[in-house]
Chains A and B, each alone.
Chain A
């Protein structure tokens, strides 16, 4: 067990040190994107691993990104305040939709489709209020005056963003681990097996589900706000809607739903894949990356439902270990 902590510490130290020795901007940019999306995917998997498959996370992400940007542009509210507000907004949205869902036992297909409606609403509201949000053309937060970059949470320096994204990603993993070790995990697993039995055993089904949903929604909104601050451009298609929700589900399934680093592996694979295809095919690549995504997703669900990392770890565990390593 001790060797695991050492491995984690060494890995982290290497990741923190990376931007100081390696400064290639394009690669750092990819890394920042991977870290931010990994955080979002981790947020989704916190819910998804208990059978609460939500296609509404595109909505939470959109709320996080757009509320932060709108507050900054129209009301001059610094993202330091705007991000908590946007997270709170997404949290309220999550509670408003999730509470009746859980209270009235909307599960399985129905839960997926209700949350699908949620991301549909967010996407349509962003498009419909185009006078404020720019509609489908996208939206850019105003550039801060020079010298007030910290207040506006806008940095030109890729290294700064890398460290911020790394920090948030680690926090995401810690939350995942905290949930994994908590009583909630056992409660949620019982609920996903059989709600009635769990309730009979004294689990407060609605409260436990709400807790997990709220955590997940808050994290997703934070990811959306960070993405907005980093890219300085958001559009309904990149941060909200059903496509983004499906993208989250896809990455997590590919990486592995039941292991802490699964969503991260999924983010690495999907983003690298998209970039490689984009560079390999040039401008002809429009569509090819999603085509490969889709084929992979179907293959994974049929043949490797535990994802790449999950299957690899399973394989390692079942192999007889040589004596003395444990």
Chain B
């Protein structure tokens, strides 16, 4: 047992820290999806595909047009925010009164559209920014700066959203709509406008995630499939629309993937995470932190 610990604890510690770093970005993704669900009551199945488009936006601005990363990032965030607003305006708004399943499937159609649009427009090659950030070495552990940066930026992004929701009039209106959408329109809140703003915010979060993920991963049309499903599971595990739950669930999932990947292939990390999700669904069907009604 001691020998086992000696050989593995340094890797274990590294895996745990990397898991926390991964959790930051996952929490950011989950926050965007939760925001949309909590306020508009719609699940964007295509959320990860918005991120993919944002990653391509970054690639083109940095690699093709030669913009510096820091200049390109705000544009990418704006681009995906506009895309989020457009998605709401074109697809979700006509379906607001339709059964929830239809809304879900319509965004599934958008998933097809975005994926194949990327295939047609950008080809199926793997592309990357060509930016290599240095690796931070502490003792025998190695952490890439891109992950640290992603973690920090994700935290800042989440804090910004938190203060926006708490301190501004629009943010308060969004929270109020999330609590009761019928009453708020009677109180003189333009719910249509709130929905659009929320969608743009959700898109902006996806854009921020895109800027961070593109530093770590190559972008290709199907990159969304590698973290999209996980994001939904995180949101469901935390309770759809429950921001704090989603935040914690993101770190739980990231640890499972990271530790599972340590002892075996990364796929088994994902299998473990999926299996954990199904088991948890049966124990806490309404999410980890559901208030018992």
Which A residue's beta carbon lies closest to that of B121?
A287
Contacts of A106 in B (CB 8 A): 281, 285
The A65-103 residues at the B interface (CB cut-off 8 A) are: 97, 100-101
Residue of B nearest to A286 (CB): B119
Shortest distance from the beta carbon of B249 to any chain A beta carbon, whole Å: 13
Interface assignment of B10: CB less than 8 Å from any CB of chain A? no
Residues of A within 8 A of B113 (CB): 290-291, 294-295, 298
Say yes or no: B100 contacts A109, CB within 8 Å: yes
Inside 8 A of A61's CB, which chain B residues have their CB?
Answer: none
Shortest distance between the CB of A281 and any CB in chain B (Å): 10
The CA of A140 and the CA of B257, in the complex, are separated in Å by 30
B229 touches A291 (CB 8 A): no
Chain A residues, Cβ within 8 Å of B108: 246, 249-250, 297
Can you name the residue of chain B whose Cβ is closest to the Cβ of A249?
B105
Is A179 on the interface with B (CB-CB < 8 A)?
A: no
Interface residues in A280-309 by Cβ distance below 8 A to B read: 286-291, 293-298, 301-302, 305
- Judge whether A273 is part of the interface by a CB distance below 8 angstroms: no
Q: Which of B91-99, B127-135, B145-153, B212-220 contacts A (4 or more CB under 8 A)?
A: B91-99
List residues 243-272 of chain B with CB under 8 A from any CB of chain A: 265, 267-268, 270-271
Q: Which of B12-20, B154-162, B190-198, B232-240 contacts A (4 or more CB under 8 A)?
A: B232-240
Q: A287, B274: Cβ atoms under 8 Å?
A: no
Asked if B104 contacts A287 (CB within 8 A), the reply is no
Q: Are A127 and B267 in contact (CB under 8 A)?
A: yes
**Which bucket holds chain B's interface residue count?**
35 or more
Contact of A112 among B101, B271, B274, B278 (CB under 8 A): B101
Chain A proximity mask over B21-65: 1 for CB below 8 Å, otherwise 0: 000000000000000010000010000000000000000000000
Alpha-carbon distance A286/B125, docked complex (angstroms): 12
Residue of A nearest to B274 (CB): A121
Contacts of B95 in A (CB 8 A): 301-302
In the bound assembly, the distance between CA atoms of A291 and B117 in angstroms comes to 6
Measured CA separation A128–B271 after assembly (Å): 9
Tell me if B89 is interfacial: C-beta within 8 Å of chain A.
no
| Pair B275/A250 contact, Cβ less than 8 Å | no
Q: Is the CB of A298 within 8 A of B281?
A: no
Residues of chain B within 8 A (CB-CB) of A53 are 101, 104-105
Distance (whole angstroms) from the CB of B216 to the closest CB of chain A: 20
- Rounded to whole angstroms, the CA-CA distance of A285 and B5 in the bound complex is 54
Which residue of A has the minimal Cβ distance to B221? A287
Closest B residue to A289 by CB, please name it: B116
Q: A51-B101, A117-B233 are in contact. Are A301 and B109 (CB under 8 A)?
A: yes
Taking each of B102, B106, B124, which has the highest tally of chain A beta carbons within 10 Å of its own beta carbon?
B106
> B126 contacts the other chain (Cβ, under 8 Å)?
no
In the complex, what residues of B have CB within 8 A of residue A302's CB?
91, 94-95, 106
Number of interface residues of A (CB under 8 A): 44
- CA A108 to CA B37, docked complex, whole Å: 13
**Whole-angstrom CA separation of A290 from B46 in the bound complex:** 14
Contacts A124-B274, A290-B112, A294-B109 given: A109-B120 contact, CB under 8 Å? no
Q: Is the CB of B109 within 8 A of A295?
A: yes
Interface centre among B95, B124, B285 (most CB of A within 10 A): B285
Known: A53-B101, A301-B95. A110 touches B221 (CB 8 A): no
**Does B111 sit within 8 A of A, measured CB to CB?**
yes
Q: How far is the CA of A294 from the CA of B111 in the complex (A)?
A: 7
B108 to chain A, nearest CB (A): 5
A118 on the B face (CB < 8 A): yes
Question: Does any Cβ of A come within 8 Å of B69's Cβ?
Answer: no
Query: Are B229 and A253 within 8 A (Cβ)?
Result: no
A291 CB contact (under 8 Å) in B120, B232, B278? B120
- Contact present for A114 and B106 (CB under 8 Å): no
Distance in angstroms between the alpha carbons of A298 and B106 in the assembled complex: 5
Q: Is residue A242 within 8 Å, beta carbon to beta carbon, of the partner chain? A: yes
The reply to whether the CB of A120 lies closer than 8 angstroms to some CB of chain B is yes
Binding site for A on B (CB under 8 A): 37, 43, 91, 94-95, 98-102, 104-106, 108-120, 124, 221, 225, 229, 232-233, 236, 240, 265, 267-268, 270-271, 274-275, 277-278, 281-282, 285-286
Known: A243-B225, A286-B120, A297-B112. 5 other contacts (CB 8 A): A117-B274, A249-B105, A249-B108, A294-B116, A301-B109
Which 5 interchain pairs have the tightest Cβ spacing? A287-B119, A294-B112, A297-B109, A294-B113, A128-B267
> What are 25 A-B contacts with C-beta separation under 8 Å?
A53-B104, A100-B282, A101-B282, A104-B281, A105-B285, A106-B281, A109-B100, A109-B104, A110-B236, A113-B233, A117-B277, A120-B274, A124-B268, A124-B271, A124-B274, A128-B265, A249-B105, A250-B109, A287-B117, A287-B119, A290-B113, A290-B116, A293-B109, A294-B112, A301-B109
